[in-house]
Amino acid sequence: MKSRFDLFLQLPGLLAYSALLCHIGAIPLMMAQDSPLRSDSKEWLVWHAGKPEVVDPATLQESFYAYLASPSILATPAQARMKLLHQCASQLGPGVAPPDDLGKAYELLQHLASDPLDHGRCRALLRAVVNASSMLAGEKNPRASEAALLRQKEILSWNLRIEQKQQQQRIEDLGPLPHKRPTPQATPTSKAAQQLAAVDQEIAQINLGGQVSDLQVRLELQELALRFLRQGDYEEAILAVRFYRGLFGDWDPPLRLGRDATMEIAPEDGKAALGTIEFLSAQDLQAINGNLSSCTILLEGNHTLAASGHLLAALTRGSHTLEVLSYSENSKQKIRQLAQLQRSLEKSLADKEYAEALSLLVKINAVTDDFDATKYHAEIQAAKSLSSAHLLSARTAGKEGRTGDVMKELMLAEESWPKNPDIAVLVKEFAGSVELKNSSLEEFDRLYATQKIDEIAKQRLRFEEVLADLPARHAQLVEALSEYYAIHEGTERAIQLRDLGNRVSAWELADALSSKYPERKELVALCEKTLSGVEDLATGLKKARALEGKEPASSLSLYLQLQERYPQSSQAKQGVERISSSLLAR
């Protein structure tokens, strides 16, 4: 009975698999420039029981900011690739593709694999399809080789029979005692018998090798389909499933990748087949397209906040999809503007910079109609009212001569609203109070000695009034405030650079701040937070610096390598200039 593959070879027209096998010779050349299948899968998303779950919201949010700032893929090549992907999937169909359609889909897969937008996805699938077709066609164990072995076996068997017949003849020539004659058999040292045993063993190994190869290529395609699903390459996952069906003639085989893989995509009953991957992929593609469509409609109505939520949902599931990567830059820019204003608002509120926060609320309301600023206004007003209440208590305590209570209430007023202009007014009212001034001086000295710069900044209005006529301490105040602003502005800039995708500059800025202010633990944390993706640069710079004194030539060589690999690195550039000047001066 002829196999599905044998029928495949007999098809007219494109000759289906014949065409496929003819292409195999050219595939190694095409594969030479292959990049490995991307491993930068979504760190914030995992699959469990057939549902994607966000496990790292912080990473997702950071990636969303970076996505909004990144340029979109050009629409024309993206649409051309999406069209090819849909054609290939349609050619294979949802069932078991007939051989002729399978051959046509293979040709489309070749075009997809050579596309610059492929990033190794369809190339990996193409390799798996070629491996499967090679196994099915006998490329690993050619039929010609097996046929030659069978012919050799036939010849050896014939020679062995002749040998046995000759032995029989010699026995008969010994005499008329048939009951004493030994049974004719090949001698143990017979060369023909040894050769025949070796050929039988080689044929058995070919048959066993075919069975092992069949299992391997099936698992390879199944694993690739699941990997595509995990990474959000849903179109490619569907193609992998459909090629599997067409190649092996199996519509919905069980998933054979182990319990862990099954737990990822199987519903609660624990049953999962290969078709489950296609179902989940199609489901996610539908959800992504729905979110992108809703985002566009909401932006047209100036509901930017709601649109941002839909675009985030689309990115969560489809960060690798062409639909998300080619989404309109103008639309992304609107959402990015709102996101930046929201982040600035959060920072202003955290720093209790309420005048700035109120200004940002006005700007936010100008770019979107669906932002509710009520709670923010209420929060700001509550903080201002509390600060005013503490100032009133401080003024009352001062009039009653309770200096300790004045200081306490004044600090509470500063804590609620550091930039309350009435704080300076109150301090001037009690400028003649020696106890108040001494308490403020003691507080400043304590904070400065322990390098609690943030606390000094919160009470800067009072300290500026009290220390105005004390040059030495006023200089310390200026120094402390300068450090405070440098750290806060630098931290904000580093985070912005990281969100824009400029990881090199983000880490170098954080590293420079940490080197300048080594006692600030939050800067060490900032360095660690921005280190991802530039670990090799950090290691290389450290090594280059260590070599500057004793091996300047080696140090320069390392700096040059780092500069070539990381063109954005200012530290590598400075290292090159520094060592070059040093060597030329010798």
| 247 and 199 fall within a common domain | no
Domain annotation covers residue 307? no
Residue 183 has pLDDT above 70, yes or no: no
Domain annotation covers residue 564? yes
**For position 266, what pLDDT does the model report?**
82
| 165 and 274 fall within a common domain | no
Q: Name the band, by pLDDT with cuts 50, 70 and 90, for residue 203.
A: low
Residue 567 has pLDDT above 50, yes or no: yes
Among 282, 306, 332, which residue terminates a domain? Answer: 282
Among 256, 282, 308, which residue terminates a domain? Answer: 282
| Residue 319: C-alpha distances to residues 31, 40, 59, 77, 390 (Å) | 26, 11, 13, 18, 50
pLDDT: is 227 or 462 the higher one?
227
| DSSP 8-state code for residue 70 | S
Name the domain count of the chain: 4
| 103 and 230 fall within a common domain | yes
| 72 and 104 fall within a common domain | yes
Residue 169 has pLDDT above 50, yes or no: yes
Q: What distance in Å separates the CA atoms of residue 60 and residue 55, rounded to the nearest whole number?
A: 9
- Name which of 238, 214, 209, 205 is nearest 224 in CA terms: 238
Lowest mean pLDDT among 104-113, 171-180, 245-254, 284-293: 171-180
Q: Name the band, by pLDDT with cuts 50, 70 and 90, for residue 539.
A: very high
Phi, psi (degrees; rounded to nearest 5) at 47: -100, 140
Q: What distance in Å separates the CA atoms of residue 428 and residue 438, rounded to the nearest whole number?
A: 14
List all residues 6 or more positions away from 123 whose beta carbon is below 8 Å from its beta carbon. Answer: 30, 31, 34, 35, 113
Report the share of the chain in percent with pLDDT over 70.
Answer: 84
| 34 and 52 fall within a common domain | yes
| 149 and 134 fall within a common domain | no
**For position 122, what pLDDT does the model report?**
95
Give the domain extent around 380. Answer: 374-469
Residue 268 has pLDDT above 90, yes or no: no
**For position 39, what pLDDT does the model report?**
38
**For position 310, what pLDDT does the model report?**
97
Taking 3-state DSSP, the helix, strand and coil percentages for the chain, each rounded to the nearest 5, stand at 75, 0, 25
**For position 164, what pLDDT does the model report?**
79
Residue 178 has pLDDT above 70, yes or no: no
For residue 238, the Cα-to-chain-centroid distance in whole angstroms is: 21
Residue 1 has pLDDT above 90, yes or no: no
Lowest mean pLDDT among 119-123, 203-207, 397-401, 486-490: 203-207
Q: What is the pLDDT of residues 339-359, one digit of tens each?
A: 999 989 998 999 899 999 999
| 386 and 261 fall within a common domain | no
Residue 34 has pLDDT above 70, yes or no: no
List all residues 6 or more positions away from 37 whose beta carbon is below 8 Å from its beta carbon. Answer: 120, 121, 124, 227
Residue 186 has pLDDT above 50, yes or no: no
Say if pTM beats, i.e. exceeds, 0.75: no
Of 20-34, 234-248, 435-449, which has the strongest mean pLDDT?
234-248
| 128 and 161 fall within a common domain | no
Question: Taking each helix axis from N to C terminus, what angle separates 234-248 and 99-113, rounded to the nearest 10 degrees?
Answer: 150
Domain annotation covers residue 9? yes
Report the share of the chain in percent with pLDDT over 90.
Answer: 44
Q: Considering the chain, what is the average pLDDT of its residues?
A: 83
**For position 45, what pLDDT does the model report?**
85
| 253 and 128 fall within a common domain | yes
Among 469, 493, 518, which residue terminates a domain? Answer: 469
Q: What is the pLDDT of residues 350-387, one digit of tens each?
A: 989 999 999 999 999 999 999 999 999 999 999 999 99
Residue 290 has pLDDT above 70, yes or no: yes
pLDDT (average), residues 406-419: 89
| 17 and 137 fall within a common domain | yes
Lowest mean pLDDT among 31-40, 131-140, 182-191: 31-40
Q: From start to end of 32-163, where are the E strands?
A: 45-48, 51-54
pLDDT: is 46 or 112 the higher one?
112
Domain annotation covers residue 345? no
pLDDT (average), residues 4-24: 39
Domain annotation covers residue 474? no
Q: What is the pLDDT of residues 56-69, one digit of tens each?
A: 898 898 889 889 98
For residue 368, the Cα-to-chain-centroid distance in whole angstroms is: 31
- Name which of 458, 480, 387 is nearest 426 in CA terms: 387
Of 6-15, 37-46, 80-89, 482-491, which has the strongest mean pLDDT?
80-89
| 59 and 170 fall within a common domain | no
- 405-411, long-range: CB within 8 Å, 24+ apart, which pairs? 406/430, 406/433, 406/436, 407/436, 407/439, 407/440, 407/443, 410/462, 411/443, 411/459
**For position 322, what pLDDT does the model report?**
95
